[in-house]
Amino acid sequence: MEKKYSIKKDFSMIAILIIPIAVAVNFVGGQLASLLKLPMYLDTIGTIFAAMLCGPWVGATAGVLTNVVTGIANPVNFAFIPVNLLVGLVTGYLARGNMFSVWWKWILSMFIMAIVSIASAAPIVVLVYGGVTGGGTSLITATAMAAGVNIWAAVIGTEGIFTVLDRIISFVISWLVIRVIPDRTLVKFGCGNLYIKKKKQEAPAEVK
Amino acid sequence: MWREKLQIHKSNWIAALHPSCKFLVVCLYSFCALLLASFKVGEGEYSLYTIAWFVIVPALAIGSGIIKRFWNAFTKVLLVAVVIIVVQSLLIPGGDTVAQLWILKVREEGLRSAIYLGFSVMNIAGIFVWFFQTTENKEISCALEDSGTNYKVTYVFISTLQMIEILGQNSKTIMNAQQARGVETQGNIVVRTRAFFASLVPLILGAITGTEERVLTLESKGFDVNCKKSRLFQIEKTGREKMVNTIAIAITVAIVGWRVALWIL
């Protein structure tokens, strides 16, 4: 039976409580990544996780709220609200489309997620900040620009590699967490049933 | 430790303005900043008015008596703006050379875009820094609720700010515990990535298992009940909101009029 979704139903009690966690995970993930000196932002893990569990609109809300909250400390982040909004939406719709069930679908989904992020982030970086934002990848971008590379190519090239890696790690972490959440908890989430079915399909194979 | 503040009294009247009034000022200021940036001045056609417009942000910060806190928060914005200005002025070719230092040349077009982007970012981000440094998060959520926002939205906002603090502390605990078990946090990138996994997965799981309990708590306290919620916290108005709003709107109208006049003439 096809499950029906509505935006109002998406925001159930548990989804409302997941949003703050998702934002905090984004925040802590970003801090941890810079603490461990990883060359990626890794600040969308919570958004991806919330979108995978509770659907696109909860994910999008978590994404927007992340940038609003980090924007309070540094308003430069406000400009990137659309990027995180799209991360949540796209991941959520991919989850609903059952695109996280088989390994080749994973790879496809990760590339879709990365492409959407780059396509939405690049115009903001180029048009609002002129190609550099003072982040870790800015130095590479600036060097490429100095070497005469077109600004769009420089931004998309450097951001692209790191965004793909970023999405792979974020997705794997979300997946690892979802796999160990017990079924009785999973079923309370909007998209949780998608991950339960898979476990049940595996179970009989082991019995045989 | 996080402690509930029941009431906020501010001695400075600019800082004490109602959040909605300050927000109007922020919006109009940003709009004017973008409009002024489109004015091209003088031979070089640089948007010089936007530099002059920026005087208002520090002036407001001093007037609100928060210059120290403002400066601490603003340094992050300043860093981005300086990077933008340097990169833009050095890397964009085109036009005559304005200044030259060894092999570094500042060209006209680069300088034009450096001023335009750098000061637009400083203007808009700066006024937001002022807003958030003079307004407590509680006041924002209270003002949002007064203006008709659903209480669930403001709950999520406030609870997010608390959750960041809680998970931040938890992550430190988990990192220490993992280090004690022998998970390496230093070394090559693969080792560090593994440490990242080892700290983040337990953190998220712990938070998720906690939500079920929180759902029960909130439901038992009648969070879902449809009725008017009573609140301990109230925002006060200073009585000067109308005056500030009028001044802000008047300045905006004047600048829009000036811009339109320049277009027509």
Same domain flag for B166 and B127: no
Domains of chain A by range and CATH?
10-119+168-203 (1.10.1760)
Same domain flag for B23 and B131: yes
Give a yes or no: residue B5 inside a domain: no
| C-alpha closest to that of A52 among A159, A163, A202, A181 | A181
- Which tens digits make up the pLDDT trace of A52-70? 999 999 999 999 999 999 8
Q: Which residues of A touch B152 (CB under 8 A)?
A: 11, 16
Give a yes or no: residue B231 inside a domain: no
pTM for the predicted model, two decimal places: 0.84
- For residue B128, the chain A residue with the least C-alpha distance is A75
pLDDT at B243 over 70: yes
The Cα of B250 is separated from the nearest Cα of chain A by a number of Å equal to 26
Q: If you average pLDDT over residues A146-166, what whole number do you get?
A: 82
Q: If you average pLDDT over residues B207-217, what whole number do you get?
A: 89
The Cα of B264 is separated from the nearest Cα of chain A by a number of Å equal to 28
Average pLDDT, chain A: 84
Give a yes or no: residue B8 inside a domain: no
Q: If you average pLDDT over residues B225-229, what whole number do you get?
A: 81
Same domain flag for B207 and B77: no
Contact assignment for A36 to B215 by CB distance below 8 Å: no
Q: Specify whether the CB–CB gap between A113 and A94 falls below 8 A.
A: yes
Same domain flag for B172 and B67: no
Same domain flag for B26 and B125: yes
pLDDT at A208: 47
Give a yes or no: residue B60 inside a domain: yes
User: Which element (helix H / strand E) includes B66?
Assistant: none
- Which tens digits make up the pLDDT trace of A13-39? 889 999 999 999 999 998 898 888 887
Q: Which residues of A touch B163 (CB under 8 A)?
A: 20-21, 23-24
Same domain flag for B128 and B148: no
Give a yes or no: residue B179 inside a domain: yes
The Cα–Cα gap between B90 and B100 comes to 10
Same domain flag for B167 and B127: no
- For residue A36, the chain B residue with the least C-alpha distance is B192
Same domain flag for B126 and B184: no
Which residue range(s) make up the domain with B58?
19-135+239-264
Same domain flag for B98 and B154: no
Contact assignment for B224 to A13 by CB distance below 8 Å: yes
User: What burial letters (b/e) apply to A69-79, b meaning 16+ CB within 10 Å?
Assistant: bbbbebbbbeb
Q: Using CB atoms, which residue from A20, A129, A169 is nearest to B156?
A: A20
Give a yes or no: residue B12 inside a domain: no
Same domain flag for B131 and B149: no
Same domain flag for B244 and B128: yes
Give the three-state DSSP class for B99: strand
pLDDT at B151: 87
Better-scored residue on pLDDT, A6 or B192 = B192
Cα within 13 Å of Cα(A171), Cβ side: 27
pLDDT at A1: 45
pLDDT at A82: 93
Q: Name the least confident of A18-32, B82-96, B115-129.
A: B82-96
Which residues, at least 6 apart from A155, have a Cβ–Cβ distance to it below 8 Å? Answer: A122, A125, A126, A131, A141
A vs B, Cβ pairs < 8 A, gives 162
Same domain flag for B90 and B209: no
- For residue B212, the chain A residue with the least C-alpha distance is A14
pLDDT at B191 over 50: yes
pLDDT at B253: 95
Q: State the total domains in chain B.
A: 2
Give yes or no for B177 touching A (CB within 8 A).
no
